[in-house]
Amino acid sequence: MSELVRQIQLGDITFGAPKDIELLHTPWGYYKFLGVSTDASRDEIDEAYKKLAKKLHPDAGGTNDSFKTLNHVVEILLDEGGELGQEHSQRRHYDEVCSLDYHFDGFIEHKGERTRKLSEIMLIQLQLKKRSAEFDHEVEQQFPEYKELQDQLKRARSDESKERIAEEIAKVQLRAKGLPEEKLDEIKRLMEERQEQHQKQARAFVQSFRDSPNTYFAKILDVFYVGGENVTFGDECQRLCIAAHEEKKHVLELILFGDCYIKGFSKVHFKAPQANVTIQDPNVEGLFHVVEGNVTVNYPASTYGSVIRARAPKVNNLGGFVEKDGLFVPERFATGRWYEKKPAVDIAVRNGSVTLQLTSPNIISSKYILSESNLENFIEKYSNINDIYNKKESKFRKKEFF
């Protein structure tokens, strides 16, 4: 058994479990390891720990590694968040990751690169919120006025008031770190430079996409959507409101917001905490994972014959599809053992619905537009990726990239 590795990387959905214990890498594996239910009480977890400790302790014939693993599992499941509260407990984070991994299984892998799982991204968000809460708590212990300033910032209405209060908050943070207030101007300058660099990189990517779209269409599109609005795959134009991007050799990662129209990509892994998605392009294959919202599949009847997997509290078949165990295929292609074929499109919605329908084909034009609409305002509000995840509006809060 490998040495237990503590969690040192944001987004580690295994929470530092040893790689060679497969059970701990499955949804709710920690509970299965202890032999308790997912809603087990502290007393039940303690009892399970004592029972297993008698078997796994080195003095009882067990090994150091197995006993360390047991203690690690119990440490996660008994954590209640301390002074920060249940919201930031490791058990709550673990439960949320397990739920996401259960509902949104899978990723797309190609030549050593893969797309990000929704659970990994959402765990990063939870962990960054915890780090921010820990820092705020430390500052409040030293400077009681800090909490009142934060409350004032929430109540402030005018931009002038928000700017003034944010600057006072920044000064308190500097004092908590043992830095002089004179450092504030330098921090502002560095943040402005970083924002300018971010804008420059964003515009360079936009221009490159416009000049050579086929270069990007050959990649797997990995989308994390933060807009909570409407996303359409396959339409008259391409409109991507880009908040951040990362280019790999075989994968293009985009963080998108606002109303988006996506066209030209054949392999897609789409993820969103909240969104309404319409899939009209019958050539798109991949995964579509939405925590809350609706996914509508609207294909021309004469062009589609592949299998679709659809999972949601409510799945509406409006006609044209044959269904078997959550798999759907157009009636004219429901021959033989069609349900044993690998789905070309895999849709999962945790809270919401999936709607499937075949319609008469529409003739549409092909036009590619990459929109920079509101990009400057967005970047100004969210100066890096973590702001998008945390939705923090203070310009002076310390942030970390992942």
Could you report the per-residue pLDDT of 101-118, keeping only the tens digit for each?
Answer: 999 988 999 999 999 999
Q: Distance between CA atoms of 258 and 55, rounded to whole angstroms? A: 55
What mean pLDDT, rounded, does the chain reach? 86
Domains of the chain (ranges; CATH) run 22-115 (1.10.287.110), 213-376 (no CATH)
Residue 179: partners with Cβ closer than 8 Å, 6 or more residues away: none
**CB-CB contact of 238 with 286 (8 Å):** no
Q: What is the pLDDT of residue 59?
A: 82
Residue 362: partners with Cβ closer than 8 Å, 6 or more residues away: 300
Show the CA angle centred on residue 172, arms to residues 183 and 187, nearest 5°: 25
Report phi then psi at 125, rounded to 5: -60, -45
Question: In this structure, what DSSP letter does residue 239 have?
Answer: B
Q: What is the pLDDT of residue 214?
A: 93
CA distances, 98 to each of 14, 22, 139, 155 (Å): 10, 14, 33, 36
Structure tokens at 171: 């000064």
Q: What is the pLDDT of residue 351?
A: 97
Q: What is the pLDDT of residue 305?
A: 87
**CB-CB contact of 359 with 134 (8 Å):** no
Residue 70: partners with Cβ closer than 8 Å, 6 or more residues away: 33, 49, 52, 53, 56
Q: Which amino acid is at 72?
A: H
The three-class DSSP label of residue 310 is strand
List the beta bridge partners of residue 274. Answer: 292
Q: Which helix (H) or strand (E) holds 87?
A: none
The model's confidence at residue 388, banded by pLDDT at 50, 70 and 90, is very low
* pLDDT 10s digits, 17-45: 988 899 999 999 999 999 999 999 999 99
Structure tokens at 213: 């779209």
Report phi then psi at 4, rounded to 5: -65, 130
Q: What is the pLDDT of residue 183?
A: 85
Q: Distance between CA atoms of 248 and 382, rounded to whole angstroms? A: 23
What whole-number percentage of the chain has pLDDT above 90?
68
Helices (H), strands (E): how many in the chain? 11, 14
Average confidence (pLDDT) over 242-257: 94
Q: Distance between CA atoms of 33 and 197, rounded to whole angstroms? A: 48
Q: Distance between CA atoms of 213 and 179, rounded to whole angstroms? A: 47
Query: Is pLDDT of 378 > 50?
Result: no
Average confidence (pLDDT) over 126-154: 92
The three-class DSSP label of residue 35 is coil
DSSP string, 50-78: HHHHHHHSGGGT--HHHHHHHHHHHHHHH
Query: Is pLDDT of 380 > 80?
Result: no
Query: Is pLDDT of 2 > 70?
Result: no
Identify which has the larger pLDDT, 387 or 309.
309
Query: Is pLDDT of 387 > 90?
Result: no
Q: Distance between CA atoms of 266 and 274, rounded to whole angstroms? A: 23
**CB-CB contact of 284 with 234 (8 Å):** yes
Question: In this structure, what DSSP letter does residue 279 have?
Answer: E
Q: Which amino acid is at 207?
A: Q
* pLDDT 10s digits, 155-213: 999 999 999 999 999 999 998 888 888 888 888 899 999 989 988 998 999 999 999 99
65: buried, middle or exposed (CB in 10 Å: 19+, 13-18, 0-12)?
Answer: middle
Residue 256: partners with Cβ closer than 8 Å, 6 or more residues away: 223, 224, 225, 226, 227, 231, 240, 241, 242, 243
- Within 10 A of 154 (CB to CB), how many other CB atoms are there? 9
The model's confidence at residue 371, banded by pLDDT at 50, 70 and 90, is very low
Structure tokens at 254: 């985009």
* pLDDT 10s digits, 269-302: 999 999 999 999 999 999 999 999 999 999 887 7
Average confidence (pLDDT) over 249-257: 96
Q: What is the pLDDT of residue 361?
A: 55
Taking phi over 0 as left and psi of -120 to 50 as alpha, with beta for the rest, 82 belongs to left
CA distances, 312 to each of 69, 231, 346 (Å): 35, 18, 11
Q: Distance between CA atoms of 29 and 334, rounded to whole angstroms? A: 37
Average confidence (pLDDT) over 239-261: 94
Query: Is pLDDT of 398 > 50?
Result: no
The model's confidence at residue 262, banded by pLDDT at 50, 70 and 90, is very high
